């Protein structure tokens, strides 16, 4: 029976260890309660989105057990999405069918979870394990920062398949350790999502024979909607694979945006205590903010549409150029640690590219910029960066994604002087 108050429970996941937060969440779900999951620094924004126990918020009791969880902003910026537990369980069922197609028994699997509970990719391992009857083990952030200790502190069983979900930055951090790389190779499936998988990292993972399964999904879709089987990844296939059995995917003919239709789309986003339904296209298709193409191996992501720029009449996706430049820099032996491409207004071209660069060695920054400029000198004019800036503080956020707005502001402040 639903909680009669209708008031959501605001759960601060940053103040409890994952097991305690998960126990609190499951206890609230047992009372058919709505739980809002807040990460570090999100409590104020989430409370504002909930807007208090208004009449409309109380009406959300009709969804029964549910969560409000932050979206990375698949279209139009960050959002607070409502997802009923039934939708999360439907996602788990589709993932189970995908595992069965690989010859794995979901209930026999050990699911490792190193991702925070307030992200949908950290929430789903809990739901999957409970729904399948499998086992869940949390990996503490402190342990993920000591990858060489993983084999000793989290030995993997030999008698059951191990499933792991990572973002690319976590994968890169673990692969920097030979011990952790060997540990990863003992997993059955390593889902990698949340951001694009850089080509150099994918190549290194293939050389190490890591069973990666690049995947794609969103908070709005209750996580994963497609995944590439590890066997196909190791054979050299690109992209994120075919849609799961409860999902249909297509591309918008005008923008190339990936569109999704499934029965587990979020009922809506919470804004100041009101539930605003997702904007859907005719036929109940939800349009993401990601551009893609459909190939022989399923969906291949091109980049964020809100990050695309238009230069000299060409549509340019910075993420693809970042990946290309990283590959060529590695081949050239350049000491590159991270780079980010941003757009600036251009009176002639409309927009042009500016690059922020973090070198591995700070005293080699100017030399690195010279190497990168030489690499891009022969690129097409629309794709060739015009300006380069050293940025020692350049880094992903805690979710392994670029906060492009933050770095755009950094660039604006730099160029104001």
Which candidate, 65, 64, 15, 24, places its Cα nearest to that of 43?
15
Compute the C-alpha angle 352/355/358, nearest 5°. Answer: 175
Cβ within 8 Å of residue 303, ≥6 positions away: 196, 290, 291, 317, 318, 319, 320
Query: What is the C-alpha separation between 284 and 334, in angstroms, rounded?
Result: 47
Its pTM stands at: 0.82
Those residues whose C-beta lies under 8 Å from the C-beta of residue 345, and which sit 6 or more positions away, are 351
CA 115 to chain centre: 10
The H-or-E segment that residue 404 falls in is: helix 404-415
CA dihedral for 218, 224, 228, 234, sign (positive or negative)? positive
Contact of 225 with 247, CB cutoff 8 Å: yes
**Is it true that domain 308-415 has CATH number 3.30.300.30?**
yes
**Cα-to-chain-centroid distance, residue 141:** 17
**The tokens of 20 are what?**
């305690």
* Three-class secondary structure assignment of 109-145: CEEEECCCCCCHHHHHHHHHHHHHCCEEEECCHHHHC
Intervals of CATH 3.30.300.30 along the chain: 308-415
Q: Determine how β-strand 387-390 pairs with β-strand 350-359.
A: parallel
CA dist., res. 140 & res. 117, Å (int): 12
Domain 9-304 fold: Rossmann fold (3.40.50)
Helix/strand/coil for 171: helix
* C-alpha distances out from residue 103 to 92, 108, 409, Å: 17, 12, 48
Q: What is the strand order of the sheet 336-346 is part of?
A: 336-346, 350-359, 387-390
Whether 125 contacts 113, CB under 8 Å:
yes
Residue ranges, comma separated, of all CATH 3.40.50.12780 domains in the chain are 9-304
How far is Cα 72 from Cα 98, in angstroms, rounded to an integer?
A: 25
The per-residue pLDDT string of the chain (417 residues; one tens digit each, 9 = 90 and over) reads: 445 455 788 898 877 788 999 999 999 999 999 999 998 888 888 888 888 655 566 667 788 999 999 886 544 456 899 999 999 999 999 999 999 999 999 999 999 999 989 999 999 999 999 999 999 999 988 899 899 999 999 999 999 999 999 988 899 889 999 999 999 999 999 999 987 788 888 999 999 999 999 999 999 999 999 999 999 999 999 999 999 999 999 999 888 999 999 999 999 999 888 899 999 999 999 999 898 988 888 898 888 887 788 787 777 888 888 888 988 888 888 889 999 999 888 877 888 899 999 999 888 899 999 999 999 998 988 899 999 999 999 988 766 778 888 898 898 888 655
**For 413, which DSSP code?**
H
The dihedral region occupied by 265, where left means phi > 0, alpha psi between -120 and 50, and beta the remainder, is beta
* Interatomic CA distance for residues 33 and 8, integer angstroms: 7
How far apart are alpha carbons 265 and 103 in whole angstroms? Answer: 28
The β-bridge partners of 289 are none
Residues 6+ apart with CB under 8 A from 267: 63, 82, 84, 275, 277, 278
């Amino acid at each position: 029976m639903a909680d009669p108050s209708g008031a959501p429970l605001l759960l601060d996941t940053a103040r409890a260890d994952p097991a305690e937060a998960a126990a609190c969440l499951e206890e609230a779900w047992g009372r058919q309660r709505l739980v809002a999951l807040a990460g570090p620094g999100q409590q104020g924004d989430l409370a504002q989105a909930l807007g208090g126990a208004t009449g409309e918020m109380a009406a959300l009791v009709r969804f029964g057990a549910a969560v409000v969880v932050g979206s990375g902003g698949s279209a139009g910026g960050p959002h607070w999405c409502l997802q009923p537990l039934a939708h999360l369980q439907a996602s788990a069922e589709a993932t189970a069918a995908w595992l069965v197609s690989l010859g794995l028994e979901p209930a026999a699997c050990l699911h490792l979870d190193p991702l925070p509970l307030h992200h949908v990719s950290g929430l789903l391992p809990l739901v999957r394990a409970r729904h399948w009857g499998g086992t869940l083990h949390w990996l503490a952030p402190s342990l993920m920062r000591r990858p060489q200790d993983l084999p000793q502190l989290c030995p993997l069983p030999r008698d059951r398949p191990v499933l792991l979900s990572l973002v690319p930055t976590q994968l890169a951090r673990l692969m920097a350790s030979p011990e952790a790389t060997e540990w990863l190779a003992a997993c059955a499936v390593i889902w990698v999502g949340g951001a694009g998988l850089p080509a150099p990292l994918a190549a290194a993972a293939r050389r190490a024979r890591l069973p990666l399964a690049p995947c794609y999904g969103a908070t709005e879709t209750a996580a994963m909607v497609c995944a590439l089987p590890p066997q196909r990844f190791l054979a050299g296939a690109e992209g994120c694979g075919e849609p799961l059995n409860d999902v249909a995917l297509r591309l918008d003919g005008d923008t190339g945006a990936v569109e999704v239709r499934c029965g587990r789309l979020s009922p809506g986003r919470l804004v100041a205590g009101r539930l605003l339904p997702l904007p859907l296209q005719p036929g109940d298709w939800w349009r993401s903010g990601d551009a893609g193409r459909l190939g022989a191996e399923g969906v291949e992501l091109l980049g964020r549409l809100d990050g695309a720029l238009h230069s000299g009449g060409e549509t340019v996706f910075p993420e693809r150029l970042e990946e290309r430049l990283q590959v060529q820099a590695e081949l050239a032996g350049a000491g590159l640690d991270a780079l980010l491409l941003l757009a600036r207004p251009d009176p002639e071209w409309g927009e042009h590219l500016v690059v922020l660069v973090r070198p591995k060695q700070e005293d080699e920054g100017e030399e690195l910029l010279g190497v990168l400029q030489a690499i891009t000198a022969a690129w097409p004019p629309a794709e060739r960066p015009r300006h380069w800036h050293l940025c020692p503080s350049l880094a992903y956020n805690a979710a392994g994604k670029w906060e492009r707005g933050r770095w755009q502001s950094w660039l604006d402040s730099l160029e104001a002087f």
